[in-house]
Amino acid sequence: MWKEDVIDLKITRFFEISARALLSLLIVAILLAILAGIAWTFYDLRLIFNHDFHGAFRTILVDVLTVLAVVEVLRTALAYFTEGRVKVTYIIDTVMVTVLTEVMAFWYREMEWQKVAMVIVLVLSLAAVRIIAVRFSPRRQQEDL
């Protein structure tokens, strides 16, 4: 029995070290993506002088919201790195920022009402799930005890 416990402990330790190493690489990649997104946003500022304002601002707004979505992914990765688990609220925030980026792009396109209704239902569903996740989070359950 004792040898099996030692082997299980070694396998678990190997998995944790491997996961942390890969997650560190992922965090570096996310940081580089954020840096590239910020650089691209500044590069797109030239559109203000070369194109119409609405098109330029739409492009810049989508760039900024995309960077914010990647920041939410970074928060999720850092939470897993520090706490050893993924917080559902961070994932929902990431999806909501991404969906809202698409909603911002809808403002400048003709959309069928069914698609707009589906997006509204999706955002409301995500908001409800986020409220439920905060209300019934494991940390809050522990604080109530």
pLDDT per residue as tens digits for the range 9-35: 888 889 888 988 998 999 999 999 999
Q: How confident is the model at residue 141 (pLDDT cuts 50, 70, 90)?
A: low
Average pLDDT over residues 57-81: 86
Q: For the segment 67-77, what is each residue's pLDDT rounded down to a tens digit?
A: 988 898 898 88
Asked if pLDDT for residue 145 goes beyond 60, the answer is no
Instruction: Work out the pLDDT band at 143, boundaries 50, 70, 90.
Output: low
Q: Residue 73's closest CA among 58, 52, 87, 59? A: 87
Overall average pLDDT of the 72-100 stretch: 82
Query: Which domain does 127 fall in, by range?
Result: 2-144
Residue 129 has pLDDT above 70, yes or no: yes
Q: Does 54 have pLDDT greater than 90?
A: no
Query: How many domains in the chain?
Result: 1
Round to whole Å and give the CA distance between 129 and 5: 39
Distance of alpha carbon 39 from alpha carbon 138, whole angstroms: 39
Task: Please give the pLDDT value at position 89.
Answer: 81
What's the confidence (pLDDT) of residue 144? 59
